[in-house]
Structure 1
Amino acid sequence: MTLKSLLTSIFSIAALSAATLLPATSAQAQDGYTTLSQVLPSDTSGKTEVLEFFSYGCSHCAVLEPKVAAWAKTLPDDVVLHPVPVGFNAGMTDMQKLYYTLVALDRTDLHPEVFKAIHQEKKPLFDLKNMSAWAEKQGLDKTRFEQTFNSFGVATRVNKANQLTQAYMIQGTPSLAIGGQYVTSPSMAKGYDQTITQAQALLKKLGK
């Protein structure tokens, strides 16, 4: 990601008013998904947005992630997928910052590798010290990684992620939000593959 594109993204985030990110007042439960009481806006220039709420520390997210990645490759051009790292408590903030650091450094190819390192290789990637050591082994410059990790841009993105988590009333990970209107998850859809099937069906409801 270039500096220009990063700044553009930051200013786009800042341009969203606080009112647009107020939590939906309620969500109506359906078979396999919930419908928010109001459609939440996005900043995707008219495209339909799919949000993938996840945490690197979540074993269920590690299972769903490759399925979401494969599904994303089949989405039409007017649908965009945005991963959103969730921080239900302060102890999860560094994992949120890790994702946005990879985004800022244009190394999202390492996104699935983080899941692998934590859940298969049992590496404790839960704080900056361990994260930067791991990142250096992946070929990233340690100093640049740490500077980006602690940057204003990454902090701004984490704040936006927290606002989205609240606005969509996300109670657990992984969860998929479709078109600012629907939310589904493995617990709602009764399975990982079923979650993708349900998400696809919800896109169809939106005419996609």
Structure 2
Amino acid sequence: MFKRFAHLRVLTLLAGLLLASACTAQSSTAPYTEGNEYVTLPAPQQRLSSEGKVEVVEVFSYGCIHCAQFAPAAEKLRKQLPAGVAFKLLPAPFSAEWLPFARAYYAAKQLGVVERTHMALFDAKFAQHFPINSMDELADFYAREGVDRAEFMRIATSPEATAKLKEDLALIQKWQVDGTPTIVVNGKYRVATVHSYDEMVAVTQWLVKRELAGK
């Protein structure tokens, strides 16, 4: 199995942070099998949002080099998804070191700049080797991208961002995600044992087709 996961470490920095199957029948011609390439979650339909589209959620972190390596394939997947499917990002606050990256994503999303900064941040950190780890360093990066630095810091460190951290970590735990990058399809399926990023994409597309057919 190819190594793609950054392992979960229980987050202790925020004292108030919430921590805490029915098998699908398989055709003999199904290319992927329950318990191998994907798993059915024990509490299905734990979705990121209430919109009616099928959801493809990537649990990721800007601090994860495997996520940086997967990012081009994830972007290609996002653009190839059919109508009726929404691709979403969910930052994982798996350690104190990753907290600033999650907060940065919430701020970037609220400011409407994720589309143009998502790949750029991976590139700056892992390809250009800029020292981007702290909130101040992240604020400097977004400022270079034309974002108001003070407003970025205000949003990223706000009580609303902290509440979002709690909410998202609880959902990640319900999905039994313990590493990044991980794909969850419609709150029902988690892509599991794969041997390449291309296979991760292929399993995701197959699960999406199943969900669309079910609707």
If the length of structure 1 is used for normalisation, what is the TM-score? Answer: 0.81
> Does 1 or 2 have the higher relative contact order (CA < 8 Å, sep 6+)?
2
> Is the 2:46–2:188 contact (alpha carbons within 8 Å) kept by the matching residues of 1?
no
The CA deviation string for residues 59-117 of structure 1, in whole angstroms up to 9 with x for no partner, is 11111112111111122232111101111122211110011111011111101111111
Relative to structure 1, is the Cα distance of residues 33 and 22 closer, same or farther in structure 2, using a 3 angstrom cutoff? farther
The CA deviation string for residues 10-63 of structure 1, in whole angstroms up to 9 with x for no partner, is xxxxxxxxxxx9999xxx962311221231332332221111000111111111
Q: For 2:188, which of 181, 191, 194 is the aligned residue?
A: 181
Matched, 1:57 2:63: yes
- Quote the Cα distance in structure 2 between the aligned partners of 1:107 and 1:147: 16
Matched, 1:197 2:215: no
Structure 2 counterparts to residues 55-204 of structure 1, below 5 A: 55-108=61-114, 109-185=116-192, 188-204=193-209
What residue in structure 1 maps to residue 15 of structure 2?
none
If the length of structure 2 is used for normalisation, what is the TM-score? Answer: 0.78
Structure 1, unaligned runs of 5 or more: 1-20
More helix by share: 1
> Is the 1:177–1:183 contact (alpha carbons within 8 Å) kept by the matching residues of 2?
yes
What residue in structure 1 maps to residue 6 of structure 2?
none
Structure 2, unaligned runs of 5 or more: 1-17, 22-32
> Is the 2:185–2:204 contact (alpha carbons within 8 Å) kept by the matching residues of 1?
yes
Letter in 1 for 2:169: N
Deviation at 1:118, TM superposition (A): 1.0
Relative to structure 1, is the Cα distance of residues 31 and 121 closer, same or farther in structure 2, using a 3 angstrom cutoff? same
Percent of counterpart pairs with the same letter? 27
What residue in structure 1 maps to residue 51 of structure 2?
45
Over 3 Å off, 4+ runs: 21-24
**What is the number of residues matched between the two proteins?**
184
What residue in structure 2 maps to residue 15 of structure 1?
none
Letter in 2 for 1:72: R
Letter in 1 for 2:147: L
